[in-house]
Amino acid sequence: MPRHALNQLRTTLNGPRRAAALLVLRVARAQHSALDAQQSALRAARRAALRAAVGAAAHLRAHGWLDRTADARWLTPADLIAALDGTLDPATLRTLAQARRHAARSQPLPASVPHVPAPHAAGPDTLTGTALSPGVRDGRLHRWTPGERVPPGRVALLPGPPAPHHLPALADAAALIVPRSGLHSPVAAHARHGARPAITLPLTAHDTDWLLDGALVRLNGHTGTLTLLRRAGVPDPIPSFDLNLEAPSLTPPVGAADQPTVLSPHVRVLPRPAPFSIDLI
């Protein structure tokens, strides 16, 4: 945190709020320090492993077990350890390195396949991105263009990271889909401040055929997924129900007392109200 922001925090807040803010800041600094230490230790361990592998390969080459030190890239750590322990003979070690090098060079390069949209499957389609703001929302998709206001309750699909002066136009959106955005971007912070779920999707995901205006989608800001619930142009299903407008018969049919009463699945029986009394004395 910059020094001027820390001074503002100490001067504008008072009492328990200032103590809580300083405690959160102290915990965040400790977490960042632990993360930096873990990353530094990981990089140091990788460098040590590479130096050990190169040293082992040089030792094996000096004793005639390998033709070149660079052949260590085709050997696993288990192969190098077995060779140093003497449980792997030199002929097998050289054969392994040559066979793996030949197999890697003889593999053909992957041919460029033109992009063909996948057909719509029977189940719901799902796109996976990165979560920016937590929450789950269902809503109609709306492709937003800068300068217009998002209709209320829509899931806005942005063409790119919006400018700061365009953020107020996203206030009525139920959720946001932003390409090429990060967790600390202004739009991600704006979404978290407004308790609005948001995810970021790669550019290739925008070529999906069901990302159209009016598609009913579910955005999960916890897992970073976007699920198609209903394609654009498909109306919502009308719930089926029946109404019995005939007057009930006052005389029960013959044998009705012996038969169990079968209620319609559309009838919900409410419990009888519990008796109560009010004592005004």
Copy the structure tokens of residue 118: 């996948």
Quote the pLDDT of residue 54: 86
Residue with tokens 């699909």: 157
Share of the chain above pLDDT 70, in %: 72
Give the whole-angstrom CA distance, residue 165 versus residue 151: 18
Strands ordered across the beta sheet of 175-177? 126-128, 225-230, 216-220, 136-143, 155-157, 175-177, 198-200, 130-133
Q: Which range has the top average pLDDT, 129-138, 203-212, 263-272? A: 129-138
Query: Cα dihedral sign for 213, 217, 221, 223?
Result: negative
Quote the pLDDT of residue 124: 52
Quote the pLDDT of residue 152: 92
Residue with tokens 């009525």: 172
Pick from 276, 135, 99: nearest CA to 218: 135
Say which residues have a Cβ less than 8 Å from residue 228's Cβ, sequence separation at least 6.
Answer: 124, 125, 126, 210, 215, 216, 217
Mean pLDDT of the region 209-226: 89
Q: Average pLDDT of the chain?
A: 77
Q: What is the pTM of this model?
A: 0.43
Quote the pLDDT of residue 252: 53
What is the tens place of the pLDDT at every residue in 28-49? 888 888 888 888 898 898 888 8
Quote the pLDDT of residue 246: 47
Quote the pLDDT of residue 116: 39
